[in-house]
Structure 1
């Protein structure tokens, strides 16, 4: 496993990034005329004396299904400082995105490119588990985290549109 980083989902454990990338390619090649969204997001949960972080990678073909996997990172201390935790969640998302090099993104774009005139599309999104509502404690970090996502070329999504972080990843932090 390169860098010791592994991913898993409900059917496979210990997937390398290359295996994840192949699964995404296979998913897209099944129907290259679709509208695809490659989405990344991280959520965390404090458990006793540790904090569990889950980073999700989801490829969605709108109205046709998804393929997803996640990476688990355990920090062996209680991370109670909200800014530190949100910032680390964003860093883990950035790390997952960075595995998709320019060449890898180009490979994915080449799958849909011949079908653009039929309505095919491909977007990349960074989902952040924060919200801008008045009662949301994370609202003071919205601009900072959105800027970080945009700086690496992602369309940033926050609650209620950040479902990879707030729903998919969240499910595995419990």
Structure 2
């Protein structure tokens, strides 16, 4: 699908229940294979407690990417690439859907899910500050493990 098609599907999903609590989440995971590395970016719109619509974008790098920082950084760059497609105009279009229903409790947030964790035993913990800052600089709420489920669960299942 083109991004335009994806965006139309998100609008249709939100218009089906404009008084919902919507979370637009984007996150990427990767998997190193014998001769290549697979990156999957998940785009998920959730109406909390009422369902989701989701899709993925696949990118294959034709080499084993064994350096963890390089891989994590590319994961985030692919997430940023999709987040950047949600321009201010497009975000405003989504906000306009829920705006008349805010008094009924309608909400809209946008999150960037980063497949890293802050725990002492987590190999990616040293990259948390850098990656979180990159997401914040795009005006998107960063989420790391265990709250980064679009990257760590949804996208992960398609990297195998």
Bucket of the pairwise TM-score, normalised by the shorter protein: over 0.9
| Structure 2 unaligned regions, length at least 5 | none
Q: Deviations over 1:96-146 (max 9, x none)?
A: 001111111110000000000110000000000000111100000000000
Number of residue pairs the alignment of both structures matches: 160
TM-score, structure 2 length as denominator?
0.99
Which 4+ stretches in 1 moved above 2 angstroms?
A: none
| Distance in 2 separating the partners of 1:89 and 1:147 | 15
Q: Deviations over 1:56-112 (max 9, x none)?
A: 000000000000001000000110000000000000000000111111111000000
- Please tell me the root mean square deviation across aligned C-alpha atoms, in Å: 0.4
Whether 2:57 is the aligned partner of 1:71: answer: yes
Aligned match for 2:151, one of 165, 170, 173 = 165
Whether 2:12 is the aligned partner of 1:55: answer: no
| Distance in 1 separating the partners of 2:90 and 2:144 | 26
| Structure 1 unaligned regions, length at least 5 | 1-14
Aligned match for 1:100, one of 63, 86, 103 = 86
